[in-house]
Amino acid sequence: MRKTALITGASKGIGKELARLLAKKGCNLVLVARSSEYLTRLKEELEDQYGVEVRVIVKDLCEADAPKEVFDEVKQAGIRIDYLINNAGFGDWGRFMDKPWERYKTMIELNTMALTYFMHLYVNEWKGKQGGKILNIASTAAFQPGPMMAVYFATKSYVLKLSEALNHELGEEGTSVTVLCPGPTSTYFGEESGMSASRLVKNVKIARASDVARLGYDAMMKGKPVAIHGAMNKIAPFAIRFFPRKWVTHLSARVMRLPKKR
Ligand SMILES: NC(=O)c1ccc[n+]([C@@H]2O[C@H](COP(=O)([O-])OP(=O)(O)OC[C@H]3O[C@@H](n4cnc5c(N)ncnc54)[C@H](OP(=O)(O)O)[C@@H]3O)[C@@H](O)[C@H]2O)c1
């Protein structure tokens, strides 16, 4: 029998590449995001190309009840979810005080609340059955504080810690939780967050969304707890353990600010 994956933020970027990869492997899909047109186009592409069944759910996951509404719709349709992929997320680059509160509220709601709610719904659904696999998309931002993107970095740190803890806790239930930590990746994220102007994006190699998705997919299938994309991105979280915390924040601030004018 075909497996089914639920992917949030499947209309663009890493989520869309994960959808393509899973469809190629013969997996049915439930695709969730706000952009109805993008999702419908992707559904048509994947059904035509791979003969899988794709259900589109147009939903703003910043709404408090949205994960439960998605869960109920999927259940009423008689679909069992085997893989839960919490990918939807956004950031915003700039000084903390300069952004409107609503922007942070929705960021926290999407990056942390919706992800946690989906996990709670599905691990309870899987309880006493054969379990499932969860893939949460964090970031290399999860490993240190990020001045100029303080709230975003903090949300990704939450995703990393929560995923590692629950992977440990849910092992007995036959459920694995994998957390994927991409570095800068070519998607709409840079534009949406405004961070394309920062030193970080100007100075590092930008990964392809398809490569990042492939790493996440492989790690989830193997039940690996943490997957970091890129050799340099793997070194940094290890190296910073040997520096005083204040230095780490200082270094992060240097990387996150605007490049010097020549
Ligand atoms: N790109 C990077 O450099 C990078 C690096 C590290 C981590 N990440 C993480 O990777 C994940 C995917 O981002 P991406 O790079 O692929 O960015 P992206 O191209 O901007 O895609 C983000 C996805 O999230 C969806 N989304 C945003 N707000 C939503 C909402 N309120 N409700 C439902 N869906 C929503 C978007 O769909 P709609 O607009 O259609 O709703 C889109 O499908 C995010 O969690 C991001 O934090 C990205």
Instruction: In whole angstroms, give the CA distance from residue 210 to residue 21.
Output: 8
Query: Per the structure block, which two tokens stand in for 166?
Result: 């629950």
Q: Is the pTM value of this prediction over 0.75?
A: yes
pLDDT in tens, 45-89: 999 999 999 999 999 999 999 999 999 999 999 999 999 999 999
pLDDT in tens, 217-262: 999 999 999 999 999 899 989 999 999 999 999 999 998 886 665 5
pLDDT of residue 255: 87
Query: Per the structure block, which two tokens stand in for 118?
Result: 């989906």
Query: Per the structure block, which two tokens stand in for 205?
Result: 């190699």
pLDDT of residue 205: 86
| Any ligand 1 atom below 6 A from CB of 189 | yes
Q: How far is the CA of 199 from the centre of ligand 1 (A)?
A: 21
Instruction: In whole angstroms, give the CA distance from residue 155 to residue 139.
Output: 10
Mean pLDDT of 124-131: 93
pLDDT of residue 245: 93
Q: What is the dihedral of CA 219, 240, 159, 259, to 10 degrees?
A: -100
Instruction: In whole angstroms, give the CA distance from residue 10 to residue 61.
Output: 12
| Any ligand 1 atom below 6 A from CB of 110 | yes
pLDDT in tens, 29-40: 999 999 999 999
34 alpha-carbon distance from chain centroid: 16
Instruction: In whole angstroms, give the CA distance from residue 95 to residue 219.
Output: 35
Domains identified in the chain and CATH numbers? 4-256 (3.40.50.720)
**Continuous H helices in 51-198:** 66-76, 101-108, 115-126, 150-170, 189-193
Q: How far is the CA of 47 from the centre of ligand 1 (A)?
A: 23
| Any ligand 1 atom below 6 A from CB of 185 | yes
